[in-house]
Structure 1
Amino acid sequence: MDDFAFKKRYTYGSIMIDIDSHRIIDMINSRELEDVKEWLNTYKNLKVISRDGSLVYKNATSLAHPKAIQVSDRFHLLKNLTEYCKTYLKTKFNVNVTIDEIKECSAKKAEENQTQYLTLEAKWKEVNKLIESGIYKSLACKQFNLNIKTYNKLIKLSTEDLNNYFLNTLEKRQQIKREQKNLIINKARELNKEKYSLTKISEILGIDRRTVKKYIDPLHIPKYTRQGRLSILDEYKIEIKDMLSKGISIAAIYRVISGKGYKGSNSNLRHYCSKLKKEFNSNPQNFRKKIITIKRSILLRGVYKPLKSIHELDEKTIKIINKKYPFYIKIIELISKFKLLLKEKNVENLTNWIVEAKSLNNSYINSFINGIKRDIEAVKNSIKYEYNNGLAEGSINKLKVIKRIMYGRNSFEMLKNKVLYIESTRSFN
């Protein structure tokens, strides 16, 4: 016996299937206590009734057939237990579960991280040193992550072109500005030699006459970059570096320094932190820790199947998880013991299992225990007997197909007559 929905969360019906013949016997347009009791009373010869954990079906059966053996469905029992455990584990684990494992970085790894942040010019010089020491060009380039085609191109350049090639965009821009500034200074000095006034030179070159006066001074040394420019982050740099080394997020750092008077933007802080991270990552002494991240969804699979069968988890990772999160293995073991209890048909062990589960003092597990205690005889019978609600689930699927064939535009009586007619014409081997 099981229920089925005409309209989910609104209207339901009940269906009855013969355990021996697998035929749908009858169905009613309700799952209320009085209706189900009256329905069951019309079948005087019922000896065994397999059902889910519904208290309505339990009470209706007890009133209509007090001597009948009631069997709770094992699938629903196990499903309820796993759902309670899954919900509990979701409250304990984040979406990504991280485990820190201390591990010294190998010399090779440290070297790779060092070369990652070398400039093109530095790589070029290091590769040349290796080649001069007798190492093949291809191996030398590979060691410093320099494309061999780039290296061959650099060989053909003159010293001047090579220096220009190594300049980054900012340096090239600064070089152009220096050249333009030198041209203006030289032009100002030439015009001054030709006896032009400061005002006239200022008009010709489009610069302030005070700047002209400064440029024509033979002792004047041009300054091409601003020296000693202060940053709005200067007073917080030590604190930022300390927080960053502790693994605090940039968003959290921004909130801390903003509370202490920082008025700059978040992007300015992120840019500075990015530089610090590069410096930190380029230092081999900082490669101490390997972080293992496991998705929560992978751990939740352990609720349904053995941990050893989950290919994302190896033995070492399982040991780390069990050591850091002991509650996890207790939940998994509890589910495994319940499955074994059902498999071995050991009714006596149910009491011991309930005591063990109760000792965990877990509100989710306690809710499941309270549910099976309310229906303890039917639960024991589910362990003892082979009966289950698989027939009902299959028949409900068939009923849904018939409903869809009629596009749901049918009365209950029409649906019932059609289902029972199809059942009466079925042949069984």
Structure 2
Amino acid sequence: MCGADRLVKVAFSGLAPLVIEDVVVEGDLIRVRARTPEVAAACPTCGNVSSRVHGFGLRTVADLPVDERRVVVVVRVRRLVCPTRGCRQTFREQVPDVLERYQRRTGRLARVVGSVVRELAGRPGVRVLSALTICLSFNTALRCLLRLPLPPLVVPRVLGVDDFALRRRHRYATVLIDAMTRRRVDVIPSRSADAVEAWLRAHAGVEVVCRDGSGAYAEAVRRALPGAVQVADRWHIWHNLAKAAGKDVAAHSACWAKHGPPLNDGPLARTTRERWHQVHRLLDQGVGLLECARRLNLGLNTVKRYARVAEPERLVRAPKYRPTLVDPYRDHLRRRRAENPATPIPHLFEEIKTLGYSGSFNLLARYITQGRVEADRLAISPRAVARLLLTKPETLTDTQRTRFDELSTACPEMIDLTNMIRGFADLLHPRPENADRLTEWITSAREADLPHLHAFTRGLDFDRAAITAALTLPHHNGGTEGVNTKTKRIMRQMHGRAGFPLLRHRILLD
């Protein structure tokens, strides 16, 4: 019997502040009868203690399950008389962490429920809790989540700001974090300049703001904190350079793709050349871009694209061929067609089929008619070429390095582009002298015949102060991007009728 008493004490150790009188097992339910200890209790209004009993009452609360059985605790509590004249006449005693005011669960059960719903929210949390023999509805689970206390809002010195989609292309919100500790600070249900400005004015103390290239955030910081330092995100700067480099690489397809399959020379390529001549003929006559677009019935951006290109060959693109099942047998096909160019394709199909080819005849026929067999090397896309130029040289394999040396020296413009990329990559390591080096880099980039890189430098000038701070200061917006990645996981679980308050609660509690 002593061992059984010891087991009961261990199982219900969380009820130690109570006096357990009886434990009854009723099928899948364990009913614990208890009472409060006969000690004085403090009045919740005036704080004076009293032990004078006015009456008794029963409270029923749920506790952690035991042996896959639900536990219900029925407690006899006292109603005491307040000793202070003018205060409330009576009050019901509370037992901290066991019998909290208005609660139907013990403190330890509430903590378990809170931990589960904080990670899984409504219905998923209810399903996990039901496996733990804790039964509640998803509405109750959401109320438990929304009652969890949020961490205190501490305004950081270095603030990270970024947006995320509540509904893509329709509604966006803004997340704010401490860029030094990556602690979540707050979530705003908008990404407008007015909403961010109002938050910054209401929470003083921010000295540095890390952001992406958003004009709304830049304007909000300028209006609310004119003396704060704005720091652009280095990843976004490099991403913009990568896009500009990719466009310049594509413009020189005729240079670096000459050893691969033949370039596109069909009706579309001929139409492109004709339009280039039409646009430049009008420009030579002094006609403006908008008037050129009206006369030629073209979009203004299309006319700009033709206007910035010095020669029509730069509009010719390398064909976008993907790896196919024929590639492993390309050497065999080259050798056979070199020996006898008139070898029928069905004969070649049967030969490589005996070597293990599992593709179709039509795939082989297209591969040959596209000129991919006679080319000196396999097809490579402009995107793949740009990736080689943007990759750290020390991480390239021997094959990639050989390909890189061949492609980066295909023409003077490709040499200039490679040097510009290498020079800017070195600027991404923050150093105080990078401010002057950035000016030198922009000057060199504008001297090169790389129109899309010129557009990138104009973007740098538009946000020059923030760009300079990004290249000279150690602050960055990487932590905010990481929070957004976790926010997408929360968004995939949805937040239903609880809406934005639930989403904000989960982000700040994560």
The alpha-carbon deviation at position 401 of structure 1 amounts to 1.7
Closer, same or farther: CA 114–364 of 1 in aligned 2, 3 Å: closer
- What's the offset of the Cα at 1:399? 1.7
Equivalent residue, structure 2, for 1:86: 246
Q: Deviations over 1:263-302 (max 9, x none)?
A: xxxxxxxxxxxxxxxxxxxxxxxxxx98344512442222
5 Å-filtered alignment, 1:58-207, equals 58-93=218-253, 97-99=257-259
Shift of 1:58: 0.9
Partners of 2:430 and 2:473 within 8 A in 1? no
1:379 paired residue among 447, 452, 467: 467
**Structure with greater contact order relative to length (CA < 8 Å, sep ≥ 6):** 1
**Counterpart in 2 of 1:352?**
440
| Distance in 2 (alpha carbons) for counterparts of 1:339 and 1:316 | 21
- CA 1:387–1:307 in 2, change beyond 3 Å: closer, same or farther? closer
Shift of 1:38: 1.3
Distance 2:408 2:375 in 1: 18
Q: Residue type matched to 1:339 in 2?
A: A
C-alpha displacement of 1:358:
1.2
Task: Please give the residue correspondences for 1:4-403 in structure 2 after superposition, counting only pairs within 5 Å.
Answer: 4-93=164-253, 97-99=257-259, 291-296=376-381, 297-306=383-392, 309-311=395-397, 313=399, 318-343=404-429, 345=431, 346-403=434-491
* CA distance in structure 2 between the partners assigned to 1:313 and 1:38 by the alignment: 55
Q: How far did 1:322 drift?
A: 4.2
| C-alpha distance in structure 1 between counterparts of 2:394 and 2:185, whole Å | 44
1:250 Cα deviation (Å)? Answer: 8.4
Considering only aligned residues, what root-mean-square deviation do their CA atoms show, in Å? 3.3
Distance 1:42 1:290, change over 3 A: closer
CA distance in 1 between counterparts of 2:338 and 2:195 reads 79
- The AA in structure 2 aligned to 1:355 is T
Deviation at 1:324, TM superposition (A): 3.1
Contact kept? 1:307, 1:313, Cα under 8 Å: no
Within 1, Cα distance between the matches of 2:408 and 2:499? Answer: 55
CA positional deviation for 1:309? 4.3
Which amino acid in the other structure matches residue 415 of structure 2?
I
Instruction: Output the CA distance in 2 between the equivalents of 1:312 and 1:406.
Output: 47
SS in 1 for 2:376: strand
- CA deviation vs aligned residue, 1:19-56 (integer Å, no higher than 9, x gap): 23321111111111222211221111111111111111
Instruction: Output the TM-score relative to the length of structure 2.
Output: 0.43
Residue 347 of structure 1: SS of its match in structure 2? Answer: helix
Gaps of 5+ in 2: 1-160, 261-331, 342-367
User: Hey, what does 1:265 align to over in structure 2?
Assistant: none
Contact 1:98 1:292 in 2 (8 A): no
Displacement of 1:325 in angstroms is: 2.5
SS of the counterpart of 1:354?
Answer: helix
Task: Calculate the TM-score normalised by the size of structure 1.
Answer: 0.51
- Name the CA shift for 1:115/1:332 in 2 (closer, same or farther; >3 Å): closer
The separation in 2 between residues aligned to 1:395 and 1:323, in whole angstroms, is 41
Aligned to 2:173, what secondary structure does the other structure show? strand
Aligned partners of 1:13 and 1:27 also within 8 Å? yes
User: C-alpha displacement at 1:337, in angstroms?
Assistant: 0.6
The question of whether the paired residues in 1 share the 8 Å contact of 2:430 and 2:474 is answered with no
| Preserved contact between residue 95 and residue 295 of structure 1 (Cα < 8 Å) | no
AA matched with 2:421 = I
Structure possessing the higher radius of gyration over alpha carbons? 1
Q: CA deviation at 1:415?
A: 1.1
Alignment check: 8 A CA contact 1:14 1:31 kept: yes
- Tell me the number of residue pairs that the alignment of Structure 1 and Structure 2 aligns: 245
Residue identity opposite 1:336 in structure 2: R
The corresponding residue for 2:41 is none
Q: Does the CA contact (< 8 Å) of 1:96 and 1:294 recur in 2?
A: no
For residues 307-360 of structure 1, what are the alpha-carbon distances to aligned partners after superposition, in whole Å with 9 as ceiling and x for unaligned? 574437466655543443222232122111111112252221010011011112
Distance 1:383 1:364 in 2: 22
How far residue 396 of structure 1 moved from its aligned partner, in angstroms, is 1.0
Q: 1:114 to 1:414 in 2, by over 3 A?
A: closer
C-alpha contact 2:495 2:503 (8 A) present in aligned 1:
no
Bigger fraction of residues in helix: 1
Q: State how far apart, in whole Å, the 1-side matches of 2:256 and 2:417 are.
A: 19
Compute the displacement of 1:303 (Å): 3.3
CA-CA distance at 1:14 after TM superposition: 0.9
* Percent identity of paired positions between Structure 1 and Structure 2: 26
* Contact 1:96–1:293, Cα closer than 8 Å, also in 2: no
Alpha carbons of structure 1 residues 114 and 402: separation in structure 2 relative to 1, 3 Å: closer
1:22/1:318 CA distance change after superposition, 3 Å = closer
Counterpart of 2:59 in structure 1 is none
Equivalent pair of 1:98/1:291 in contact (CA under 8 Å): no
Aligned AA for 1:353?
W
> Structure 2 vs 1, CA of residues 70 and 323 (structure 1 numbering), >3 Å: closer, same or farther?
closer
Q: How far apart are residue 94 of structure 1 and its match? A: 6.8
- Give the Cα–Cα distance (whole angstroms) in 1 for the partners of residues 444 and 395 of structure 2: 26
CA contact under 8 A between 2:212 and 2:236: conserved in structure 1?
A: yes
With over 3 angstroms needed to count, the CA separation of the structure-2 counterparts of 1:11 and 1:91, relative to structure 1, is farther
User: Helix, strand or coil: the match of 1:16?
Assistant: strand
